C-alpha cells in the first residue's frame, strides 16, 4: 500500500472562485436527511428543477442511484452506512469545488456522520431536515421496505430496528407531512437567495 507521505495535493490554475464567477453562483451542498419515505428525493428533485429552470448548474446525488455504482460494494450495516456517507461527502466536496449546487438526498441517520460532512464542507453545507412522522413514512412506503422490515426480511432498517438521529440545528426544516412539495422547494430556494448562494 502506498504511504500517505507520497501523496501530494496538486494545485490547479483554475480555482473554485474562478468557476463560481463563470457560473454566477456559489458551489454548495444541500444535504437532505430524513427517514425513508419522508420525501427527500422528491423535494430535492423539485428544488433542482426550479434551479435548472433559473439557469443554475446543479447535480443531484441520490442514495439509491449512488448505490448502483460508486457504493455498490456497501451494505446497510452501521460500518457500511458510515463509509457510504464518507464517500458521498468527498464527492460532494468535489462538486462544490466545481462551483455546482449539489443536492444530496440520503437518509444519513447518524448525527456524527452529518457533522463530519459539515466539517468537511464548512459554510458550503446546508442541512435540510425533511421531517415526516414514522407513521406517515410507513404509510407511504413507496418501495415496500417498511413492510419487509416489519416482516424481518430486511435488517438494520432505519426507523424500525436501526435508529434515526434527528438533526439538532439544521439550516432548514421542511415538513412533508403538512407542506406541499412546491412549498418545501420554494422555502429552500428562498434560503439560497437570501444567503447569497444564488443571485
Decide: helix, strand or coil at residue 197: coil
Order of strands, edge to edge, in the sheet holding 125-131? 58-62, 101-105, 28-33, 125-131, 172-175
User: Is 41 annotated as a binding-site member?
Assistant: yes
The catalytically annotated residue of 108, 133, 162, 186 is: 108
Which of 157, 114, 127 is CA-nearest to residue 40? 127
User: Is 63 annotated as a binding-site member?
Assistant: no
User: Is 119 annotated as a binding-site member?
Assistant: no
User: Is 40 annotated as a binding-site member?
Assistant: yes
In 24-169, alpha helices (H): 40-53, 63-66, 78-97, 111-121, 134-140, 145-150
**In the annotation, is 108 catalytic?**
yes
From the annotation, which residues make up the binding site for ATP?
A: 34-41
Active site residues: 108
From the annotation, which residues make up the binding site?
A: 34-41
Amino acid at each position: 500500500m502506498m504511504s500517505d507521505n507520497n501523496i501530494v495535493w496538486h494545485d490547479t490554475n483554475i480555482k473554485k472562485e474562478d468557476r463560481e464567477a463563470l457560473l454566477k453562483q456559489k458551489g454548495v451542498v444541500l444535504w437532505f436527511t430524513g427517514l425513508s419515505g419522508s420525501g427527500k428525493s422528491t423535494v430535492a428533485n423539485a428544488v433542482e428543477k426550479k434551479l435548472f429552470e433559473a439557469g443554475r448548474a446543479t447535480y443531484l446525488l441520490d442514495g439509491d442511484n449512488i448505490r448502483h455504482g460508486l457504493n455498490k460494494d456497501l451494505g446497510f450495516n452501521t460500518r457500511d452506512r458510515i463509509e457510504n456517507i464518507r464517500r458521498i461527502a468527498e464527492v460532494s466536496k468535489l462538486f462544490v469545488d466545481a462551483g455546482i449546487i449539489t443536492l444530496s438526498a440520503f437518509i444519513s441517520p447518524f448525527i456524527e456522520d452529518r457533522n463530519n460532512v459539515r466539517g468537511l464542507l464548512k459554510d458550503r453545507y446546508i442541512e435540510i431536515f425533511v421531517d415526516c412522522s414514522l407513521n406517515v413514512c410507513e404509510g407511504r412506503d413507496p418501495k415496500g421496505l417498511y413492510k419487509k422490515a416489519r416482516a424481518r426480511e430486511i435488517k438494520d432498517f432505519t426507523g424500525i430496528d436501526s435508529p434515526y438521529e434527528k438533526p439538532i440545528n439544521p439550516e432548514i426544516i421542511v415538513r412533508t407531512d403538512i407542506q406541499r412539495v412546491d412549498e418545501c422547494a420554494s422555502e429552500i430556494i428562498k434560503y439560497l437567495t437570501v444567503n447569497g448562494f444564488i443571485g
